[in-house]
């Protein structure tokens, strides 16, 4: 029961953080979805860091996993939004922008997660 409350609390905080970043970075004249791109990249990096701190190095108690990894980062990152934005760009005829967005998002999010793992393993 406590784990479910932690997921709910983390999810609410992550969703609020995502809303704040989106409100800060979204402009009606920019077709590239920078907010979602930044959120997914940062969330991937943080997932790598938390994986090391909680699961590999046990620097944080395992009880933090539902709160931080499932809840906070699950509420913060936006893969479903990413998918909708990519398809919307295609439907609106921004084919090159959609391709760049998808490729950069996948490459940089995987790279950010790997960087988070590598740096955390070295620092902690």
Binding-site residues, in ranges, read 74, 77
**Binding-site residues for Na(+):** 74, 77
Distance CA 107, CA 112 (A): 9
CB 47 within 8 A of CB 73: yes
Contacts of 111 (CB under 8 A, 6+ apart): none
Cα-to-chain-centroid distance, residue 123: 22
CA distances from 15 to 7, 36, 78 (A): 12, 12, 9
């Amino acid at each position: 029961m406590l784990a479910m409350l932690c997921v709910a609390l983390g999810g609410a905080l992550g969703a609020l953080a995502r809303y704040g970043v989106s409100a800060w970075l979204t402009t009606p004249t920019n077709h590239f979805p920078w907010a979602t791109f930044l959120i997914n990249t940062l969330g991937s990096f943080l997932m790598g860091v938390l994986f090391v701190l909680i699961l590999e190095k046990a620097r944080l108690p395992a009880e933090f996993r539902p709160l931080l990894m499932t809840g906070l980062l699950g509420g913060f990152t936006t893969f479903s939004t990413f998918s909708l934005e990519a398809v919307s760009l295609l439907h609106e005829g921004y084919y090159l922008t959609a391709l760049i967005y998808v490729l950069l998002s996948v490459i940089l999010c995987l790279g950010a997660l790997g960087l988070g793992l590598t740096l955390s393993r070295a620092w902690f």
